[in-house]
Chains A and B, each alone.
Chain A
Amino acid sequence: MKKDILKVAGKILKSRLIVGTGKYKSFSETAKAVKASGADMVTVAVRRVNILDKKKPILTDYLNPKKIIFLPNTAGCFNSAEALRTLRLAREMGGWKLVKLEVLGDKKTLYPNMIETIKTTKILAKEGFKVMVYCTDDPLLAKKLEENGASAIMPLASPIGSGLGIQNKINISLIIKQSKVPVIVDAGIGTASDATIAMELGCDGVLINSAIANAKKPALMAKAFKDAVISGRNSFLAGRMSKHYFASASSPIKGLI
C-alpha cells in the first residue's frame, strides 16, 4: 500500500494535525501540549520584542524551530499591507517561505476578508512564498485562492476560537473535492470528535489551537486530537458503509432455530 503522507508545498508532514501556540497559560504548557499532539508543524505569530524585560522567557526557549516547523501567521492583520509586512519580516527572521496568511475582515467574528486575502495570496506567491491560506468555506473563493497560487486551502469550520465545530460540512466537502492542493480545516474546532469529522470528510489535515489550549488539561486534549485525527483519516481511507433507511440484521437468518 502506498504510504499515506501529507505534503504541503513539497514539505512532508508526518502528522496531519497542525497546532497553534497561542492562548496557553505558560510556555512549558505550550511545549507539553505540542509534544503530546505529535504535530510537526506549529503556527506562530510575529510581534514586537519586549524591550522592557530582557529576562522574560520567549517562545523559542521552549520550542526549537530546528526540530519543529514554524508556520508564521498574520494574525491580527486587517489588510494586505499589514499581512505583507508581517510575512516579509517572518521570512527575514529565518528564511521562512512557508507561511499562513489570514487577513481578517471583522473584529467580532474574525471572519476573513476574502478580497484582501486573494489579492495578498497573489502577491506572496509571486514573491516566492508558499502560502497556506485561512479562508471562508465558499468553494468559489477557495478555487480563486488556488488559481492565485495558494499552497493549501484552510477553510474555517466556524469562527476562530468559537469551538462551534464544523458548521457547513457540504461546503467543506465541495472544497475538498475540487482542490488540487491540501485542504486543512482551520479555526472553530471545539473538541476531538470535530477533528475526526473533518478528517472523515476527506480533509488533508486540521489546525487546532483554542480547543487544546483552552482545555482543562491541554496536553491530554492534544493527545486526544492526535488520536482523533488518525482515527478520522483511517475511517476516510477505509470508506464508510452506505446509509439505509431500514435495518439489516447482522446475524444470518440461515440455521435459525
Chain B
Amino acid sequence: MAKIQLNGKKLIIKLRYSLFDLLKKYKLTDKKIAIELNGEIVPKVFYKKKILKNNDKVEIVHFIGGG
C-alpha cells in the first residue's frame, strides 16, 4: 500500500501501482489528458513503467471550456 495525492486529494493505492493503473481506475486511458508527477510532466510512453511511491503527488489534467 502507498499513500499518494491525486489532484489534491489523498488516495491509497496498492503496491506496484502504475500511472497506467491509475488512469484505468478513473477510465481515462483513452482520454486526452496529461500527467504531472511531483511537478514533472510524464511523457505518455512512461505511464506503464512509472510505479507510484509513497507521498507521490500526481496531477491529471484535461481540457475544459475556456475563453
Q: Say whether A49 contacts B67, CB under 8 Å.
A: no
Q: How far is the CA of A207 from the CA of B66 in the complex (A)?
A: 12
Q: Say whether B63 contacts A59, CB under 8 Å.
A: yes
From residue 67 to 90 of chain A, which have CB atoms closer than 8 A to chain B?
Answer: 70, 72-73, 75, 85, 88-90
Q: Is B60 an interface residue (CB 8 A)?
A: yes
Which of B8, B32, B67 interacts with A48 by CB under 8 Å? Answer: B8
Q: Is B14 an interface residue (CB 8 A)?
A: no
From residue 140 to 161 of chain A, which have CB atoms closer than 8 A to chain B?
Answer: 160-161
From residue 25 to 67 of chain B, which have CB atoms closer than 8 A to chain A?
Answer: 26-28, 31-36, 41, 43-44, 59-67
Closest to A85 in B: B36
Q: Say whether A59 contacts B65, CB under 8 Å.
A: yes
Closest to A55 in B: B27
Q: Say whether B65 contacts A23, CB under 8 Å.
A: yes
Contacts A49-B28, A65-B32, A94-B32 hold; do A60 and B41 have CB atoms under 8 A apart? no
Closest to A30 in B: B65
Q: Is A22 an interface residue (CB 8 A)?
A: yes
Q: Say whether A48 contacts B7, CB under 8 Å.
A: yes
Residues in B neighbouring A92, C-beta threshold 8 A: 34-35, 41, 43-44
Q: Tally the A-B contacts, defined by beta carbons under 8 Å.
A: 100
Main secondary structure on A side of the interface with B:
mixed
Which of A52, A58, A75 interacts with B62 by CB under 8 Å? Answer: A58
Q: How far is the CA of A73 from the CA of B66 in the complex (A)?
A: 8
Q: Say whether B67 contacts A22, CB under 8 Å.
A: yes
Proximity string of chain A (161-196) to chain B, C-beta cutoff 8 Å, 1 when within and 0 when not: 100000000000000000000000001000000000
Residues in A neighbouring B27, C-beta threshold 8 A: 54
From residue 31 to 54 of chain A, which have CB atoms closer than 8 A to chain B?
Answer: 43-49, 51-52, 54
Closest to B11 in A: A51
Q: How far is the CA of A56 from the CA of B39 in the complex (A)?
A: 27
19 residue pairs of the A-B complex, CB under 8 angstroms, read A22-B66, A44-B63, A44-B64, A46-B64, A47-B61, A47-B62, A49-B28, A49-B61, A51-B7, A59-B64, A60-B62, A65-B63, A72-B63, A73-B67, A89-B41, A89-B61, A93-B32, A94-B32, A160-B67
Task: Please give the residue numbers on chain B whose beta carbons come within 8 Å of chain A beta carbons, in ascending order.
Answer: 6-9, 26-28, 31-36, 41, 43-44, 59-67
Task: Please give the residue numbers on chain A whose beta carbons come within 8 Å of chain B beta carbons, in ascending order.
Answer: 20-24, 27, 30, 43-49, 51-52, 54, 58-60, 65, 70, 72-73, 75, 85, 88-90, 92-94, 160-161, 187, 207, 209-210
Closest 8 CB pairs of A and B: A45-B66, A20-B67, A209-B67, A21-B65, A92-B34, A44-B63, A89-B34, A93-B34
